[in-house]
């Protein structure tokens, strides 16, 4: 696998030709009356062409605003990526926003998510942040991934993220 920064020119829907964003979700975390509980919430996550186009727009914006997008490549093509925004969040500008982190379904459980997370943390430090901010999917599996890396519930929630994805769990990671 090769890990490298992506360029604007690479950010086309064709980049995702062999990337499989499949996830069968059966349970999710929800905060109810101030307590985190697991609820049976089942659905499938699967990206299509429209999702790829929208994602390319988000990632291009990350680069245009000075952020970084890392790609993880096999001989077949893109198998993972993460994006860290340059503009810091929080009342003290303490957070670098880890806006994207995905591993293709065929490559999960091999340590590549941890590798991309470490690159995101290095990038956040380079941007001057004290912590990463992660608005993360609430599925039990996604939350276990982030908790195993040492992420905890964010002390300060970002209103934009909460509004955009109200069911996400708002996390932070000390750099």
- The pLDDT tens digits along the chain (175 residues) read 999 999 999 999 999 999 999 999 999 999 999 899 999 999 999 999 999 999 999 999 999 999 999 999 999 999 999 999 999 999 999 999 999 999 999 999 999 999 999 999 999 999 999 999 999 999 999 999 999 999 999 999 999 999 999 999 999 999 9
Class in CATH terms, 2-174? alpha beta
Question: What pLDDT sits at residue 72?
Answer: 98
CA dist 154 and 161 (Å) reads: 12
Question: What pLDDT sits at residue 39?
Answer: 96
Question: What pLDDT sits at residue 98?
Answer: 98
E strand intervals along 93-168? 95-103, 131-136, 152-153
Question: What pLDDT sits at residue 159?
Answer: 96
CA dist 72 and 115 (Å) reads: 9
């Amino acid at each position: 696998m090769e890990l490298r920064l992506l360029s604007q020119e690479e950010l086309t829907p064709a980049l995702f030709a062999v990337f499989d964003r499949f996830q069968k979700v059966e349970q999710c975390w929800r905060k109810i009356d101030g307590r985190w509980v697991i609820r049976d919430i089942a659905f499938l996550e699967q990206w299509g062409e429209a999702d790829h186009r929208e994602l390319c727009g988000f990632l291009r914006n990350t680069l245009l605003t000075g952020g970084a997008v890392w790609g993880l490549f096999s001989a077949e093509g893109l198998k993972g990526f993460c994006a860290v925004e340059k503009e810091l969040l929080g009342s003290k500008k303490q957070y670098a926003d880890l806006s994207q982190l995905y591993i293709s379904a065929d490559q999960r459980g091999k340590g590549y998510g941890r590798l991309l997370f470490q690159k995101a943390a290095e990038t956040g430090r380079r941007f001057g942040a004290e912590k990463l901010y992660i608005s993360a999917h609430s599925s039990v599996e996604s939350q276990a991934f982030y908790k195993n890396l040492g992420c905890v519930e964010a002390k300060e929630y970002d209103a934009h993220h909460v509004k955009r994805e109200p069911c996400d769990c708002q996390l932070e990671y000390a750099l």
